[in-house]
Structure 1
Amino acid sequence: MQHLTDTVLDVAIVGTGPRGISVFERIAAHLRAGTEPPRIRIWLIDAVELGAGRIWRTDQETSFLMNTVVGEISMFSGIFDGEPSRPGAGLSFQQWLPTQPEPELAGLDHDDYAPRYAYGRYLRYVYDSVVRSMSGLGEVVEVVGKVTSLRDNGSGYELRLSTADDERTVAVDAVVITTGHAPAELSEHQSELARFAQERPGLRYLSGDSAADLDLQSIPPGTEVGVVGLGLSFYDILMSFTVGRGGKFKVNGDGAMCYVASGNEPSVVAGSRSGLPIRSRGRNQKGVTGRAAPKFLTSAAIGRLRERNAVQRGTPALDFDRDVLSLLQAEINYVYYTTQARTQHGPERAEAVGAELCALGPEPAKWREVVVRHGLEDVEPVDLDQLSRPLHSRRFDSGADVVAEVRRILLADITQAGRGNVDSPLKAALDAIRDSREVLRHAVDFGGLTPRSHRADFLGRFVTRTSTLFTGPPLERTAQFLALVDAGVLDVAGPDVLHGCDAEAGRFFLESPAVEGSRRHCDVLIDSRIPTAGLIRNTDPLMRQLVEDRMAVDFVHADSEEMFATGALHITPAERRVIAADGRPHRALYALGIPTERVCWFTQIGNGRPGVHTSFSRDADVIALSVLRRAESHTFQ
């Protein structure tokens, strides 16, 4: 194979979880397709496990589940074509699973949920396939270690690597940062909790990390444990305390889930702002390409709004509530009403309802007459705030009362989730949010909103509340939650939970101001909430050094009315190049994924979709093409 030059292009990918692998795969795919590729050496660097990273590492507990069905996952940028897997074409996750020796993995179907460790194995398979494909194209150097500093040497970059054996400096031409989640410094309140525990033997405070990295197994059976946060990490903690200690879930003759305790479980009390666990995703009824085509929230509509705002307000920036959320609510309610019409009256009625709603445009307030005329007079529009915080402003006389209300809500959620994300009007409507994520990114990313609306409307309200409705686990997790409540292993504190130190009792406490007499004491307190991504309170030495040396800066979203420091790495929209403190983009320093969250939205997604060119693979391709084009034009110097 002929090369452009005898000069070797050195590229470092820092972090080899899904985002790092995606960039590696796209670089390799372009090299394979090129007639005169550059000579290249790729440094693959990961602090935990090459090809899986920390979050998806392969040695975590088998009870931790993904929250995406196996049939919607692929890490190859092209579909399997019958040939050996390689960059640009390879086995999807579902196609790969039957190769595994464990029956519980090999038997998983399209709409099942796989253990997290199994996805880590698949990532390793993709990673190894790409490494093998580099034979004859270039050199691959694998390093298990941490990048502690990165400096511009005038012609490239110098990385300081710390491994188990030594420390060394590596000179490269380009660097791609895809480091994922990093533990955060403790906040002032968290530091107070940690000091309280350190001063009292028998107390422990755990926070700021995934369940796989928390020392959960050393907590003795019977210990009173408080958990703050009822999201996906909470479920991992719950499974570690139960299934991970020999407990078993069984289904009774009446179809209800029950829990058979092992006797090794701690006693858990948990709470959050909503007082409810993250809701189940509807049973999947969609194929890989089964996303609903948007009717109102389209890229073209976003473009028109920007043009209008530029003329009327002097800026193309959007107001999320006024400009975007109104279109999303129309999208959600369009799906809700048409699904109600189909399930109650048949597909012809649904088609008629849909046509009339589209003709009226994205103003649900005007839709009532259509809804009533088509026999849906009892169907009220979807209220996202009420769905996300149904216990808000409620008061309960006892813990038993709040548990009864939580049970009622969760049983209804299980019923809806069981109907599926096509046949349940509610779950189909909420799935419309998932289907709209690409357009929402188009509206939000790279300062697309005004600073105030970005901070208060989008991040402060929409993301914190709505994500609990459409990013949830399989419905079996909700059934298991109730089974653990019935078994006495788990208790619910209530909404707007407070937690802190009770110096008089010498223990931690959890309580809900909405529940009379709800204060509960515990000896172990776990904050299961994943810290805000980005540069704020980041403990990663690389991120700290980049900021201290002014090689990187957080994206400060500002206009004449407000300045909002997002904490995300400031990057260019076109190539994802990191922007230095002087406002200039680096020649060849790139960032993708979690470090850029809040410049871009929903970067935590860890996979592409088989045969669908999503933003996951597009983002990786942008960086891969930039690296190789700059190599061809010799613009690294």
Structure 2
Amino acid sequence: MAVLGAGPRGAGLLERIVANYDADDTGQLVVHLIDPHPPGAGRIWRDAQSGLLKLNSLAADVTMFTDKTSTIEGPVREGPSLVEWAQLATRGALPGYDLDTEAPQLAAEIRALGPASFPTRRLQSRYLGWFFEQAADAAPEGLTVLVHTAQVTGVTTLENGSQRVELDTGDGLTVDVVVYALGHSGTRVHEGTRTAELSDFAARHELAYVPPSFTADADFSAVRAGEPVIVRGLGLAAVDLLVLLTEGRGGAFVRSPDEGRLTYLPSGREPRILVGSRRGVPYHSKVTSVLQGEPFETRYFTPDIAREVVARHDILDFRAHFWPLLAKEMLHGYYRELFTGHPERVRISWVEFRAELDRFGAQSPELHDAVIAALVDPSDELDIATFDHPLRGATATDVGSVSASLHAYIREDLRRRNRQEHSESQGLFLALLFSYMTFVEFQDAPNWSPASLAGDVRVWWKGFFSYVASGPPGHRLDELLALSEAGVVHFLGGDLRVWEDEETGSFRARGSTLEREVSARALIDAWLPDSDVAHTDNDALRQLLASGEGRERVAVTPEGSLATGVIEVRRADSRIVRADGTAHPRRFAVGPYTSNPFVGAFSRPRTNAVSFRENDAVALSTLRLVGDISRENQDREQHDHAAEHHHRRPVRQALGGLARQS
């Protein structure tokens, strides 16, 4: 078997293959894992990147191991979460890992890591590498694990059904089964896109343009010190970018001992960063509080309710059929914690308020009146529309006024997301997280409106979830304030629009918040590349489509069709669907570029993670397939041997007769 990709997904798949392997059923098996980057970490989490870059997940919220909540057919094999791994390493109780051999800075970070810490990507790289080694070392007799440091360029099917995997080293592997576990891939710039137009304009006028990319892979060397650069985006990629252009260029953050105020000391090598986005505000900071009221449970958007919605409508529309339920579940999670965890801040009981929540729509005037009547402080109301667009309707004539508004917004966000007295934010986060995990199971339903799937589901809903639940660590927003106060970062507000000025040979930008234009010779689109397998920069995926051995999923309803940008796989076992609509007999695929549900983050402990379930199902399917192929080969060899034996006997007899005759 060949697993194309040895990053977190490939490593997780290997762990499930090892856990489910039975030599009696499968026979002798060699698993080839192929990746140009270190196994376990892969490209995104490799050690060879800036030590300033971090996860946006708490150390307690990351695990690579199944647990008792995992509804899987194979055996559960529990292991340490990231923070537990660090604690074991600190005590010297981690099998196969010696903390004393680490670089001093990384060793110190591991020793100091707590449940609410945001680890660096380099630390996460160690955890993932250790996990991979443990999975490989656990392989029983009969199962061999081999790692190839190479890039896969393509896979072809041989006459006997075997798969030939070609590598960029010039070598090749002949295997029986292939699993694509390639992780995130980029997108090639191609004609007809806005990215191509901006790239062409930058080339003609000798400007600097950085298209959507993975931050650790991007080249920002053309962005000059002291010169303005327009940055579109205020999500995680933008936060990483700001780190690399400031602290990464020699600047330093200093916290005063008396006030606790953070100050940025520029190095002089930073550009002048002009940043804006659609909302105009950064993603909400990651929540670090914990629930202190009743445990969270879903009420308005459960799997059964979602299944009923899908069955009830011929054509699904996200805004009409799902969003009212999702919004109500968010309010339920938020107010449940506010009423049960902080009863001093409300006027009635949770049971009484829940009855009002049951009666009225999530964004109805009636619910608004009921909320205001029930709260001691009206500012505790969760208005989802304002929450989604906090700058809507705001205008300013200068950058300084916009920045002042943003400073106040960010400080309030930090107060509500990182203090225990506002643990209702944790209730909101959990409601949104579990709703997202439920919804993703129905995202590939066959009756979606293509327009709603393309705009509402793939763009708005995904972006809203990231904005609320997948933001940066709180200290990154504290640093953003310091950068703005130091005059390095300037906010442009919301609805940011960028265009090319041929006359001046520069990029220009303006949003709805700031009533004037800005210009610069550098532009950075600070978001990750969209999933688009038709224009992927991954050779193996391009060859898969070109050969017809795989195809892009197209959503088709009476309203029309939509190319989804992902490889189509069979839901039950992740088998790749070929161009003719049949399931490939020998190839499977898992990850963000496939049509199967993808949550998009590391698995949280005790949440029955989607990736664990898919990995286990694929491991079992591939092992059974390998066993079937092995038995078929044995039967064929026995048949061939018998046929050869049967054919040779009369020849020998004839020769014997001739001998006797002579």
1:543 matches 2:538 = no
Q: Which residue of 2 aligns with 1:319?
A: 317
Asked whether the 8 Å contact 2:450–2:561 carries over to 1, the reply is yes
Measure, in 1, the Cα distance between the counterparts of 2:371 and 2:276.
Answer: 38
Aligned-partner SS, 1:578: strand
Q: Which residue of 2 aligns with 1:82?
A: none
Q: Which amino acid aligns with 1:499?
A: V
Classify 1:75/1:156 alpha carbon distance in 2 versus 1 (closer, same or farther; 3 Å): farther
Q: Which residue of 2 aligns with 1:251?
A: 255
Asked whether the 8 Å contact 2:508–2:517 carries over to 1, the reply is no
Measure, in 1, the Cα distance between the counterparts of 2:557 and 2:170.
Answer: 44
Q: Which residue of 2 aligns with 1:619?
A: 614
User: C-alpha displacement at 1:44, in angstroms?
Assistant: 0.3
Measure, in 2, the Cα distance between the counterparts of 1:357 and 1:528.
Answer: 42
Map residues 575-594 of structure 1 onto 2, 5 A cutoff. Answer: 575-594=573-592
Q: Which moved more, 1:317-326 or 1:67-76?
A: 317-326
Classify 1:265/1:371 alpha carbon distance in 2 versus 1 (closer, same or farther; 3 Å): closer
Within the candidate set 2, 8, 31, 1:12 is matched to 2
Please report the RMSD computed on the Cα atoms of aligned residues, expressed in angstroms.
2.9
Classify 1:501/1:615 alpha carbon distance in 2 versus 1 (closer, same or farther; 3 Å): same
Q: Which moved more, 1:68-77 or 1:395-404?
A: 395-404
Aligned-partner SS, 2:225: coil
Measure, in 2, the Cα distance between the counterparts of 1:636 and 1:43.
Answer: 21
User: C-alpha displacement at 1:349, in angstroms?
Assistant: 5.0
Higher helix residue share: 2
User: C-alpha displacement at 1:358, in angstroms?
Assistant: 6.9
Measure, in 2, the Cα distance between the counterparts of 1:250 and 1:447.
Answer: 54
Q: Which amino acid aligns with 2:188?
A: E
Within the candidate set 248, 257, 266, 1:261 is matched to 266
Classify 1:356/1:479 alpha carbon distance in 2 versus 1 (closer, same or farther; 3 Å): same
1:216 matches 2:220 = yes
User: C-alpha displacement at 1:399, in angstroms?
Assistant: 1.7
Classify 1:244/1:363 alpha carbon distance in 2 versus 1 (closer, same or farther; 3 Å): closer
Asked whether the 8 Å contact 1:230–1:278 carries over to 2, the reply is yes
Q: Which residue of 2 aligns with 1:281?
A: 286
Deviations 1:448-500 (A, max 9, x none): 63333322332243223342122101111111111100001111122222224
User: C-alpha displacement at 1:604, in angstroms?
Assistant: 2.5
1:178 matches 2:167 = no
Classify 1:585/1:381 alpha carbon distance in 2 versus 1 (closer, same or farther; 3 Å): farther
Aligned length: 604
Measure, in 2, the Cα distance between the counterparts of 1:368 and 1:402.
Answer: 29
Classify 1:195/1:291 alpha carbon distance in 2 versus 1 (closer, same or farther; 3 Å): farther
Query: Whose radius of gyration is greater, 1 or 2?
Result: 2
Classify 1:399/1:581 alpha carbon distance in 2 versus 1 (closer, same or farther; 3 Å): same
User: C-alpha displacement at 1:393, in angstroms?
Assistant: 4.1
Asked whether the 8 Å contact 2:262–2:482 carries over to 1, the reply is yes
Asked whether the 8 Å contact 2:18–2:140 carries over to 1, the reply is no
Q: Which residue of 1 aligns with 2:275?
A: 270
Measure, in 1, the Cα distance between the counterparts of 2:306 and 2:604.
Answer: 25
Aligned-partner SS, 2:263: strand
Asked whether the 8 Å contact 1:45–1:143 carries over to 2, the reply is yes
Classify 1:542/1:389 alpha carbon distance in 2 versus 1 (closer, same or farther; 3 Å): same
User: C-alpha displacement at 1:511, in angstroms?
Assistant: 2.9
Q: Which residue of 2 aligns with 1:490?
A: 489
Measure, in 2, the Cα distance between the counterparts of 1:254 and 1:503.
Answer: 49
Q: Which moved more, 1:506-515 or 1:238-247?
A: 506-515
1:604 matches 2:600 = yes
1:196 matches 2:170 = no
Within the candidate set 610, 626, 631, 1:631 is matched to 626
Measure, in 2, the Cα distance between the counterparts of 1:632 and 1:37.
Answer: 4
Classify 1:208/1:377 alpha carbon distance in 2 versus 1 (closer, same or farther; 3 Å): closer
Q: Which residue of 2 aligns with 1:26?
A: 16
Classify 1:193/1:318 alpha carbon distance in 2 versus 1 (closer, same or farther; 3 Å): closer
Within the candidate set 532, 535, 539, 1:534 is matched to 532
Measure, in 2, the Cα distance between the counterparts of 1:23 and 1:182.
Answer: 18
1:423 matches 2:422 = yes
Deviations 1:259-283 (A, max 9, x none): 1222232221122111122221222
Q: Which residue of 2 aligns with 1:412?
A: 412
Aligned-partner SS, 2:321: helix
User: C-alpha displacement at 1:625, in angstroms?
Assistant: 0.9
Aligned-partner SS, 2:335: helix
Q: Which residue of 1 aligns with 2:649?
A: none
User: C-alpha displacement at 1:367, in angstroms?
Assistant: 4.6
Map residues 17-416 of structure 1 onto 2, 5 A cutoff. Answer: 17-31=7-21, 36-78=25-67, 88-98=77-87, 99=89, 100=99, 101=102, 102-134=107-139, 136-163=141-168, 166-187=169-190, 188-201=193-206, 203-216=207-220, 219-252=223-256, 253-285=258-290, 292-309=296-313, 315=314, 318-342=316-340, 343-345=342-344, 350-353=349-352, 355-357=354-356, 360=359, 365=364, 367=367, 371=371, 374-375=374-375, 378=378, 382-416=382-416
Aligned-partner SS, 2:183: coil
Asked whether the 8 Å contact 2:291–2:426 carries over to 1, the reply is no
Aligned-partner SS, 1:567: strand
Classify 1:448/1:186 alpha carbon distance in 2 versus 1 (closer, same or farther; 3 Å): same
Measure, in 1, the Cα distance between the counterparts of 2:49 and 2:591.
Answer: 22
Measure, in 2, the Cα distance between the counterparts of 1:220 and 1:159.
Answer: 47
Measure, in 1, the Cα distance between the counterparts of 2:205 and 2:468.
Answer: 39
Asked whether the 8 Å contact 2:555–2:562 carries over to 1, the reply is yes
Q: Which amino acid aligns with 2:441?
A: H
Deviations 1:41-80 (A, max 9, x none): 101011333221111111111111111101111112248x
Q: Percent identity?
A: 25
Within the candidate set 552, 555, 562, 1:554 is matched to 552
User: C-alpha displacement at 1:615, in angstroms?
Assistant: 0.9
Classify 1:576/1:400 alpha carbon distance in 2 versus 1 (closer, same or farther; 3 Å): same
Classify 1:97/1:66 alpha carbon distance in 2 versus 1 (closer, same or farther; 3 Å): same
Gaps of 5+ in 1: 1-10, 80-85, 310-314
Aligned-partner SS, 2:440: helix
Q: Which moved more, 1:64-73 or 1:238-247?
A: 238-247
Deviations 1:487-526 (A, max 9, x none): 011111222222243333333333325422231323x322
User: C-alpha displacement at 1:321, in angstroms?
Assistant: 2.1
Measure, in 1, the Cα distance between the counterparts of 2:487 and 2:79.
Answer: 47
Measure, in 2, the Cα distance between the counterparts of 1:480 and 1:386.
Answer: 25
Within the candidate set 560, 563, 566, 1:565 is matched to 563
Classify 1:308/1:221 alpha carbon distance in 2 versus 1 (closer, same or farther; 3 Å): closer
Classify 1:511/1:636 alpha carbon distance in 2 versus 1 (closer, same or farther; 3 Å): farther
Asked whether the 8 Å contact 1:398–1:517 carries over to 2, the reply is yes
User: C-alpha displacement at 1:238, in angstroms?
Assistant: 0.8
Measure, in 2, the Cα distance between the counterparts of 1:594 and 1:297.
Answer: 24
Classify 1:602/1:348 alpha carbon distance in 2 versus 1 (closer, same or farther; 3 Å): farther
Classify 1:263/1:418 alpha carbon distance in 2 versus 1 (closer, same or farther; 3 Å): same
Measure, in 1, the Cα distance between the counterparts of 2:392 and 2:369.
Answer: 31
Map residues 460-471 of structure 1 onto 2, 5 A cutoff. Answer: 460-471=459-470
User: C-alpha displacement at 1:416, in angstroms?
Assistant: 0.8
User: C-alpha displacement at 1:430, in angstroms?
Assistant: 4.0
Measure, in 2, the Cα distance between the counterparts of 1:450 and 1:635.
Answer: 44
Gaps of 5+ in 2: 69-74, 90-98, 633-662
User: C-alpha displacement at 1:374, in angstroms?
Assistant: 4.0
Aligned-partner SS, 1:526: strand
Classify 1:225/1:105 alpha carbon distance in 2 versus 1 (closer, same or farther; 3 Å): farther
